Amino acid sequence: MNGDPLWLSQVVIAAFADIAFACTLGAGLLSVWLSKEKAVEAKSPAHAAWQKARRLSIGGAVVLAVADLVLVWLQAASMSGAPLFDAFSAVIAVVTGTHAGIGWAIAFGGSVLLNFAMVFATAKGSPRLGLFAVGAIVAAAGKASIGHAADAGAFSLAEGVQTVHLLATALWGGVVFASAWSVLSALGTSLARAFLIRTAGKMSTMSVIAVSLVVLTGVYNAWRGLGGSAEALEASAWGQALVVKAVLVATALLLGAMNRWSVLPRLQRTASTVDARTFTGVMRVEAVLIVAVFVAAAMLSHSVPGFASAG
- d(CA 167, CA 164) in angstroms, rounded, equals 5
Closest among 137, 125, 126 to 166, alpha carbons compared: 137
Mean pLDDT of the chain: 92
Dihedral sign (CA 137, 139, 140, 143)? positive
- d(CA 187, CA 71) in angstroms, rounded, equals 36
Q: Is pLDDT above 60 for 184?
A: yes
How many CB atoms are closer than 10 A to CB 1? 17
The reported pLDDT for the residue numbered 308 is 61
- d(CA 46, CA 194) in angstroms, rounded, equals 10
Asked if 192 and 270 touch (Cβ cutoff 8 Å), the reply is no
Closest among 60, 34, 5 to 198, alpha carbons compared: 34
Q: Is pLDDT above 60 for 37?
A: yes
The reported pLDDT for the residue numbered 201 is 95
The reported pLDDT for the residue numbered 276 is 95
Asked if 148 and 220 touch (Cβ cutoff 8 Å), the reply is no
Q: Is pLDDT above 70 for 20?
A: yes
The reported pLDDT for the residue numbered 25 is 97
153 φ, ψ to 5°? 105, 160
**CA torsion 69→70→75→77, rounded to 10°?**
120
- Residue range 83-135, pLDDT digits in tens: 888 888 899 999 998 888 999 999 999 999 999 998 887 766 678 889 999 99
Of the listed ranges 107-116, 151-160, 164-173, 225-234, the one predicted with least confidence: 225-234
Residue 1 — pLDDT band, cuts 50, 70, 90? low
- Residue range 228-242, pLDDT digits in tens: 778 878 878 889 899
Q: Is pLDDT above 90 for 244?
A: yes
The reported pLDDT for the residue numbered 119 is 86
Asked if 67 and 20 touch (Cβ cutoff 8 Å), the reply is yes
Asked if 285 and 207 touch (Cβ cutoff 8 Å), the reply is no
Buried-exposed string 77-91: b where 16+ CB fall within 10 A, e elsewhere = bbbeeeeeeebeebb
Residue 152 — pLDDT band, cuts 50, 70, 90? confident
The reported pLDDT for the residue numbered 151 is 84
R_g of the chain computed on alpha carbons: 20
The reported pLDDT for the residue numbered 150 is 83
CA angle 66, 174, 278 (to 5 degrees): 140
CATH number of the structural domain 5-310: 1.20.1630
